[in-house]
Amino acid sequence: MTRIALVAAWCAALCSAQIFKLTPDQLIEITRKNPYGRFADGRPNVPGEVLEKVRGLSVEEAWSPLHGHADYPNQYEGGWRIMHPGQKLVGRVVTAQFMPKRADLNDLLVAELKAKFNHTGMPHQWVLDQLREGDVLVVDMFGKDEGGAVVGDNLAAFVQSATKTGGLIVDGAIRDVEGIQPLGMQIYYRHATPSAIDNVQLTGYNIPIRIGKATVLPGDVVLGDRTGVYFLPPNLLKSIVDRADETHIHDEWTKAKFATGKYKSSELYPTPKDPAMKKEYEEYKAKRMGKQ
């Protein structure tokens, strides 16, 4: 089968199933490297204990193993406004894609929601209603400001209740910031606006999306801190966490040595230059790794 025929077959399968939502088999195929279980819809279900290990990382610690990985050069995005800068955001990705409104397409999508899902409310609320504990909703709102607010304080309260420890990332806007901030839920967003969502249409749910420079798949694991957001592929989580353990040990040893005031920065960082210090560090690392 030619590449064109394969693309045509893929599009036909997608259109015959649901216009804006992948079938479980399609979602399993695009996330086929996932080593964990799955939800009924095919989305990877990274276990809670793995999410807790990720919560102990910084985005810099995710950068180290991903930066040199040729298959995953586009997993980080920065430049956000952050609702709670001192608070981590970790969870399983649910994606939603919006585009500028076009009536003929939007009418078709709204009709699909009513016919297949018995949903007669706002399309973005259908997405919110699918959220479960541990999810992080990641929204491609194409950077929209006015009319690009996917939640205000009421719907943010719903997201918080549905996801428990989850949150929201929107490449667009939120509204009612004064009402959202006391909720304590972490949100990464581009704009704050008083305007409600308008002149947009939902065109994708749990499909691959672009957030700034990052490519995001459903079931990725979000890691957000003060620096920005990483979208971590499930198949790399173990190697990322394992390498971060070594980084933690390296950093605590190096900082403790610098605190003595006896060493120049170049003597110890990024690695000890003196063979005796290298040996001391390796013994320290072996001891610390043995305790974990």
From residue 28, alpha-carbon distances to 185, 205, 217, 244 in Å are: 30, 15, 11, 28
Query: pLDDT: is 191 or 274 the higher one?
Result: 191
Number of Cβ atoms within 10 Å of the Cβ of 139: 26
The Cα 78–Cα 41 span in angstroms is 30
What values do phi and psi take at 45, rounded to 5?
A: -115, 85
- 16: pLDDT strictly greater than 70: no
pLDDT of residue 162: 97
pLDDT tens-digit series, residues 222-256: 999 999 999 999 999 999 988 877 887 888 888 99
Task: Give the pLDDT band (50/70/90) at residue 291.
Answer: low
Residue spans of the domains in the chain: they are 3-233, 238-291
From residue 65, alpha-carbon distances to 105, 245, 254, 283 in Å are: 41, 12, 20, 24
pLDDT tens-digit series, residues 88-116: 999 999 999 999 999 999 999 999 999 98
pLDDT of residue 148: 97
Which DSSP state fits 149? B
pLDDT of residue 12: 44
pLDDT of residue 29: 96
- 289: pLDDT strictly greater than 60: yes
Segment 14-28 mean pLDDT: 73
Task: Give the pLDDT band (50/70/90) at residue 123.
Answer: very high
- 24: pLDDT strictly greater than 90: yes
Task: Give the pLDDT band (50/70/90) at residue 67.
Answer: confident
Portion of the chain with pLDDT greater than 70, in percent:
93
Could you tell me which residues are beta bridge partners of residue 181? none
Asked whether 100 and 172 are in contact (CB, 8 A), the reply is no
- 195: pLDDT strictly greater than 60: yes
Asked whether 159 and 166 are in contact (CB, 8 A), the reply is yes
pLDDT of residue 15: 44
From residue 280, alpha-carbon distances to 257, 262, 274, 277 in Å are: 11, 15, 10, 5
Could you tell me which residues are beta bridge partners of residue 214? 211
pLDDT of residue 36: 97
Q: Which of 126, 112, 122 is nearest to 19 (CA)?
A: 112
Asked whether 169 and 139 are in contact (CB, 8 A), the reply is yes
CATH superfamily name and code, 3-233? Ribonuclease E inhibitor RraA/RraA-like (3.50.30.40)
